[in-house]
Amino acid sequence: MIEVYIDGATAGNPGPSGAGIFINANGKVERYSIPLGIMTNHEAEYHALIKAQEICLELNFKTVSFRTDSELVNRAIEKEFVKNKTFAPLLEKALLLSEKFDLFFLKWIPSSQNKVADELARLAIRKNNNEDASR
């Protein structure tokens, strides 16, 4: 089974944001730092999941276990419901993507077990700032 660790981060809330994605595909490791623009931390967490799902589908990974330290995102996927309607379109997109996998799991883990994805998300924030500076 493919293991995917995800994290979203922002500098400020809202602020420049990034997604960190760490994929362990049976010993083959891939890392992604994706700048997301200006958004809230919770939005960045959802976008990290969505980007990770899209990457896994592009790589034709069909049995995937995603790990997140975001209790908000984990609960929303588990219950297929969000209280804050701002997140409804993001949840809907993540749920639609999850249906494209043969097996889709999302598990909450403590931040201490998600350090690589966190570092990648923080790197993405800096990339975001570098892109802004180059415009």
Q: What is the pLDDT of residue 129?
A: 58
Q: What is the pLDDT of residue 93?
A: 98
- The pLDDT tens digits along the chain (135 residues) read 999 999 999 999 999 999 999 999 999 999 999 999 999 999 999 999 999 999 999 999 999 999 999 999 999 999 999 999 999 999 999 999 999 999 999 999 999 999 999 999 999 999 975 654 433
Per the DSSP assignment, residues forming a β-bridge with 4 are 23, 66
Q: What is the pLDDT of residue 128?
A: 77
Q: What is the pLDDT of residue 95?
A: 98
What residue spans define the domains of the chain?
2-133
For the chain, how are helix, strand and coil distributed in percent, rounded to 5?
45, 35, 20
Q: What is the pLDDT of residue 88?
A: 97
CB 25 within 8 A of CB 56: no
Q: What is the pLDDT of residue 57?
A: 98
Q: Which of 60, 50, 66, 132 is nearest to 105 (CA)?
A: 66
Distances (CA, A) of 76 to 6, 69, 83: 15, 13, 9
Q: Which of 115, 14, 95 is nearest to 50 (CA)?
A: 95
At 126, is the secondary structure helix, strand, or coil? helix
What is the topology classification, in CATH, of domain 2-133?
Nucleotidyltransferase; domain 5 (3.30.420)
CA gap 25, 28 in Å, rounded = 5
